[in-house]
Amino acid sequence: MTSYFRSLGLALAAAGALTTASAVAQAEEVQKGGTVVVQMKGEQRILNPGLRASTGVYYITGKIMEPLIDKSYEGYEPVLATDWSSSDDGLHITLKLREGVNWHDGKPFTCDDVAFSAMELWKKLLNYSSALQANLESVDCPDPHTAVFNYSKPMPMDLFLAAMPDLGHPVPKHLYEGTDILKNKYNTAPVGTGPFKFVEYQRGQYVMAVKNDDYWREGYPYLDRIVWRFINDKSAAAAALESGEVQESGFIGISMADIERLSKDDRFDVGTMGYENNVAHSTVEFNHRNPILADLKVRQAMYHGLDIDYAIKTIMRGYAKPGRGPIPTAGGANYTDQVPTYAYDPELAKKMLDEAGYPVKDDGYRFHLRHRPAPWGEYTQLWAEYYAQAMKEIGIDVEILTNDAPGFLKGVYRDHDFDTANGWHQFRSDPAVSTMVWLRSGQPEGTPWTNQFGWKDAEIDQMIDDAASELDPAKRAEMYHTIQAKAMEELPVIFAIEHPFISVTSKKLHNHHNTPRWNSSSWYDLWIEQ
């Protein structure tokens, strides 16, 4: 068996340059059995990727519930779907489903599960997917192992494929049909087809899964057990890695200082490999229901008040670049840097706020904002603190409201109890899969990581819809360039900083980070030295 890994030393130059990562391959004899312990820095409670698209969900349940199609470094990988094709007009996509696959309760996996999941969860309830599948009219099952997706408008095949690794996890119909899907008990005790079976979820402590002896990939998985421990304290997490209590910390789960330190420790692989499908933006999100923030000139002034280069250097240790709207450089042909930008200029920011009708008052401030930072790790908190400091310098008072993950999601996306918020938002292969839902109005109420900001632009809505059904890749790219530029003009959300994720992984683990979404994938071939 071959083990692929990449070690990355984080000796950052003054300009924030990255060291070059090198891949190392070595033939080794697999050791079966053992337990891998993973640090989780946050707890979302929902463990159903068919209901919530989130790294915190995939990091755990990606090992328990599988998508129809996954992503490898060679391309798209058949998982529960073995083959796929599209009609010439893009209105029908046919999937051949894998035979001989059982759910963890022993029931067979069939097209009925796919059709139910697509129509009742992916189309109606799954964040990101509800916009993506807006034109899905039905899923036919001509036989138990064939699924035909029928659309009212063309669905580009490259878009469908890009979506499936994150937005294509079927749920077992027999456990969800006839229930309140949002309250179904299996959302926190998932039943899947994957290499590991859910065993236990102790709130605030851990989630445990064990080897699926009936797994369809013969001879896999290698591990006996995976335990995800909730360790919010960054120093405690770093200590657990060093003591060997934890073997993997992903998605920048510890402080950047500890990441730099452990990158020099020969016991660990430290780097960004395995996240190519998960590039993210650090954001500033506006509640446009606040008339002050509904004023474009105010939002533009606030952007001019942010020293992005300083934030990158001090918070991300140079491990990032300035954002240029909702599509990152990882977007390939769909990305453009020909967009409006907002240079750091606090004096201009002050002038614009004066002109907008918000002079400094007797208390020393122009207005007051309540800000909710996402509890996704050190850098989201530090970004919030920097944002508050930067706004103070241009006369805006920002009160930071700290909360746990459920509190943040509820406060921002359901109750809209905020003026501004920040977190990070992932780009997932194609703009229509993820980032466009931050701009498209009409998202289901309360859906996390979507446009719940009270902002609507009919022109952008139409452009987003048109791009999502354009079959010509070149034309789609031009459409997204226009959308990206308009988003930078209107600033419904500031996609301030583009950055990768980083893992710290014990070298006792083998076959780790060998796919472009490894931390979210199934780990069926992961093994540990005993």
Tell me the C-alpha distance between 270 and 250, whole Å.
Answer: 10
Write out the H or E segment, with its range, that includes residue 285.
strand 280-286
Tell me the C-alpha distance between 306 and 317, whole Å.
Answer: 17
- The pLDDT of 412-438, averaged and rounded, is 91
Q: pLDDT value at position 425? A: 84
Please check whether residues 122 and 31 belong to one and the same domain.
no
Q: pLDDT value at position 11? A: 33
**In-domain check, residue 414:** yes
Q: pLDDT value at position 27? A: 53
Please check whether residues 383 and 466 belong to one and the same domain.
yes
Please check whether residues 159 and 10 belong to one and the same domain.
no
Domain hosting 108: range is 69-176
pLDDT, tens only, 265-303: 999 999 989 988 888 899 999 999 999 999 999 999 999
CA distances to 212, 220, 257, 317, 506 from 225, in Å: 10, 12, 30, 35, 16
Residue 14 reports pLDDT greater than 60: no
Provide the b/e sequence for 306-321 (b: ≥16 CB within 10 Å): bbbeebbbebbbbbbb
Closest Cα to residue 48, out of 117, 143, 105?
117
Across 65-79, 122-136, 158-172, 237-251, least confident range: 122-136
**In-domain check, residue 293:** yes
Name the domain count of the chain.
3
Strands (E), 196-275: 196-202, 206-211, 225-230, 248-249, 268-271
34: buried, middle or exposed (CB in 10 Å: 19+, 13-18, 0-12)? Answer: middle
Put simply, whether the predicted model's pTM sits higher than 0.75 gets the answer: yes
Q: pLDDT value at position 512? A: 98
pLDDT, tens only, 182-216: 999 999 999 999 999 999 999 999 999 999 999 99
107 backbone dihedrals φ, ψ, rounded to 5°? -75, 145
Query: Which two structure tokens, joined as six digits, stand for 423?
Result: 């977190």
**In-domain check, residue 200:** no
CATH number of the domain at 340, please: 3.10.105.10
Please check whether residues 515 and 475 belong to one and the same domain.
no
Tell me the C-alpha distance between 262 and 392, whole Å.
Answer: 35
Tell me the C-alpha distance between 335 and 312, whole Å.
Answer: 21
- The pLDDT of 55-73, averaged and rounded, is 96
Cα atoms in the Cβ-side hemisphere of radius 13 Å centred on 527: 17
Domain stop point among 128, 156, 176 = 176
pLDDT, tens only, 339-373: 999 999 999 999 999 999 999 999 999 999 999 99
Please check whether residues 232 and 258 belong to one and the same domain.
yes
Please check whether residues 395 and 310 belong to one and the same domain.
yes
Please check whether residues 227 and 145 belong to one and the same domain.
no
Domain stop point among 153, 176, 199 = 176
Tell me the C-alpha distance between 220 and 484, whole Å.
Answer: 43
**In-domain check, residue 60:** no
Q: pLDDT value at position 485? A: 97
**What is the torsion angle, in degrees rounded to the nearest 10, for the CA atoms of residue 390, residue 423, residue 505 and residue 211?**
170
CATH number of the domain at 151, please: 3.90.76.10
CATH number of the domain at 26, please: 3.40.190.10
Tell me the C-alpha distance between 112 and 321, whole Å.
Answer: 45
Residue 4 reports pLDDT greater than 50: no
**In-domain check, residue 354:** yes
Specify the amino acid at residue 335: Y
Please check whether residues 167 and 295 belong to one and the same domain.
no
Please check whether residues 266 and 158 belong to one and the same domain.
no
Residue 3 reports pLDDT greater than 50: no
Angle (CA) 195 35 41, round 5°:
90
**In-domain check, residue 360:** yes
Write out the H or E segment, with its range, that includes residue 137.
strand 136-143
Please check whether residues 415 and 328 belong to one and the same domain.
yes
pLDDT, tens only, 228-272: 999 999 999 999 999 999 999 999 899 988 998 999 999 999 998
Please check whether residues 423 and 490 belong to one and the same domain.
yes
**Percent of the chain whose predicted confidence (pLDDT) is above 70:** 95
Please check whether residues 157 and 88 belong to one and the same domain.
yes
**In-domain check, residue 521:** yes
- The pLDDT of 30-53, averaged and rounded, is 94
pLDDT, tens only, 487-528: 999 999 999 999 888 999 999 999 999 999 999 999 999 999
Q: pLDDT value at position 277? A: 84
